[in-house]
Amino acid sequence: MSDKMKERLPGDSVPYEDDDIHVIHSQLLREKDEPSEGFSPVPMLLLFLFGGLVFWSGVYLANYGGEFKWDVYDPEWKPGMTAAVAEKPPLMVTGERLFKNNCQACHQANGAGVPGAFPPLAGSSWVVGDEARIVKILLRGLSGPIEVEGNSYNGNMPSYGENGAGWNDYQIASVATYVRASWDNGAPEVSEEAVAAIRADTAGKSGAWSGEEILGAHPL
């Protein structure tokens, strides 16, 4: 260390010499490592543990994945067992759930609809009677002016068939059954087979039905 550095007092404005700066740097390096770029290596033990976990997970899924059936979950499934076909809930149970999630906002929980905007389903002649009427509307939707129980409506009901929400025959039958049986409507249930037949008969239909088309084929 230079004599000038030894004699240096706090607050002095005398500049450091090169030798003094090197001495200070040497002291700092002894206290702290020189910073460097890069990544710290991952411990080999941790890599082996992670690899073993991934391998075990793959073996477990292969043996207990239930053959990866999208429509079946059986907590009692064991290797070698054939996945059981899940039983469908009753039409009314599924229909109520689907109605609440998709239809209730417009037609209301009590089926009364909204005057001037959304027609009622409770006590509606459009709902009871010929089941093909409601099934066709669910499959393709309904657009334009209609009259329901003496009141006029002019709106658009979306399609829940293949051109819309993509519901299958069971889902269409469930909602149709729920609507026809609720709020004292008292109409019989609609079967999946009936929906499938109507779907096949109207396969060439593009776009929504008009009120005239529906009533022309299924008068009230």
pTM strictly above 0.85: no
CB 119 within 8 A of CB 153: yes
In this prediction, residue 45 has a pLDDT band, given cuts at 50, 70 and 90, of: confident
Greatest CA separation found in the chain? 115
Predicted pLDDT of residue 63 = 74
- Per-residue pLDDT of 173-213, as tens digits, reads 999 999 999 999 999 999 999 999 999 999 988 889 999 99
Domains of the chain: 91-217 (1.10.760.10)
Distance in angstroms (rounded) separating the CA atoms of residues 30 and 53:
42
Nearest to 177 by CA among 81, 86, 98: 98
